[in-house]
Chains A and B, each alone.
Chain A
Amino acid sequence: MHTTPANLPKIQDYAIIGDCRSAALVSTRGSIDWLCWPRFDSPAIFAAILDAKIGGHWSITPVEQFHCERSYVESTNVLRTRFTTSSGQAILTDLMPVASEDEKRRMLLPDHELIRRVECTEEQIQFNIDFAPRPNYGARGIHFRKVGNCVRADVGRGSYRLTSSVPMIVTEDRAYVSIQLKQGESAEFSLTYGEESPAVLPILGNAICERIQRSVDWWQRWSERCNYDGPYRAAVIRSALVLKLMAYAPSGAIIASPTTSLPELLGADLNWDYRFCWLRDASLTVRALVRLGYMAEVESFLDWLLHATRLTQPKLNVLYTIFGSKAPEERSLLHLRGYAQSKPVRIGNEAQDQLQMDIYGEVIEASAQFVRSGGHFDRETKNALIAMGKYVAHNWDVADEGVWEPRTGRAHNTHSRLMCWMALDRLIEMQHRGELDGVPFRIFADQRRKIREQIHQRAWNRRLGSYTSTLDGEATDATLLLLAWHGFEPPDSPRMKSTYSRVLEDLGLPHSLLYRYQRNPPEGAFGICCFWRSEYLAIGGGTFREARQSFEDLLRFQNDVGLYAEEIEPATGDALGNFPQAFTHIGLINTAVSLQDRELGRSHEDETSVARGGPPVEKVEQ
Chain B
Amino acid sequence: MNWPSWLLSGFIATIVLTTVSALAQGLGFTRMNIPYILGTIFTPDRDRAKVYGFLTHLGAGWGFSLFYALLFESMGNAGWWRGAMIGTVHATFALVVIFAVLPGAHPRMASERHGPTAAKLLEPPGFMALNYGTQTPIAVFISHILFGIVLGAFYHVR
Contacts and interface: CB of A to CB of B under 8 A. Distances in A.
Interface of A: 19-21, 38, 98, 100-101, 104, 111, 218, 222, 244, 247-252, 294, 296-297, 299-300, 303-304, 307-308, 310-312, 323-325, 378-381
Nearest to A218: B116
Contacts of A38: 112
Given A300-B119, A300-B121, A310 B31 contact: yes
A297 B121 CA distance: 11
A249 B131 contact: no
27 contacts: A19-B115, A20-B116, A21-B115, A98-B116, A104-B113, A111-B113, A218-B116, A247-B116, A249-B114, A249-B115, A249-B117, A250-B113, A250-B114, A251-B123, A296-B117, A299-B120, A300-B120, A303-B120, A307-B31, A307-B123, A310-B31, A311-B28, A311-B31, A324-B123, A325-B134, A378-B46, A381-B46
Given A100-B117, A323-B131, A250 B31 contact: no
Interface residues of B, number: 25
Interface string B62-90: 00000000000000000000000000000
Max chain A C-beta neighbours (<10 A), residue from B47, B126, B131 = B131
B24 to A, nearest CB: 11
Interface in B101-158: 110-121, 123-124, 126, 131, 133-134
Nearest to B135: A311
Nearest to A324: B31
A379 B114 contact: no
A296 B116 contact: no
Most buried by B among A101, A111, A244, A312: A101
How would you classify the secondary structure of chain A's contact residues: helix, strand, loop or mixed?
loop
Contacts of A300: 118-121
A325 B133 contact: yes
Contacts of B114: 101, 249-250
A324 B115 CA distance: 18
A38 B46 CA distance: 30
Nearest to A380: B46
Contacts of A303: 120
Nearest to A308: B31
Contact of B118 (A104, A218, A247): A247
A378 B45 contact: yes
A296 B119 contact: yes
Nearest to B113: A111
A225 B123 CA distance: 25
A101 B26 CA distance: 34
Contacts of A323: 123, 126, 131
A380 B33 CA distance: 13
A100 B45 CA distance: 25
Closest 3 CB pairs of A and B: A249-B115, A20-B116, A20-B115
Contacts of B46: 378-381
Contacts of B119: 101, 296, 300
Given A101-B119, A324-B131, A380-B46, 20 more contacts: A20-B116, A248-B115, A249-B117, A250-B111, A250-B113, A250-B114, A251-B124, A251-B131, A252-B123, A296-B118, A296-B119, A299-B118, A300-B118, A300-B119, A312-B28, A378-B45, A378-B46, A379-B47, A380-B47, A381-B46
A379 B31 CA distance: 18
Nearest to A299: B120
Contacts of B121: 252, 300
B10 to A, nearest CB: 30
Nearest to A377: B46
Contacts of A248: 115
A379 B124 CA distance: 23
A434 to B, nearest CB: 18
Nearest to B47: A379
Q: Which of A300, A310, A324 has the most CB of B within 10 A?
A: A310
A101 B117 contact: yes
B116 A250 contact: no
Given A323-B131, A378-B45, A379-B46, A249 B31 contact: no
A9 B112 CA distance: 33
A101 B120 CA distance: 13
Contact of B110 (A250, A308, A311): A250
A244 B123 contact: no
A249 B116 CA distance: 6
A142 B45 CA distance: 48
Contacts of B113: 104, 111, 250
Contacts of A311: 28, 30-31, 133
Contact of A250 (B30, B45, B47, B112): B112
Contacts of A250: 110-115, 123-124
A296 B120 CA distance: 7
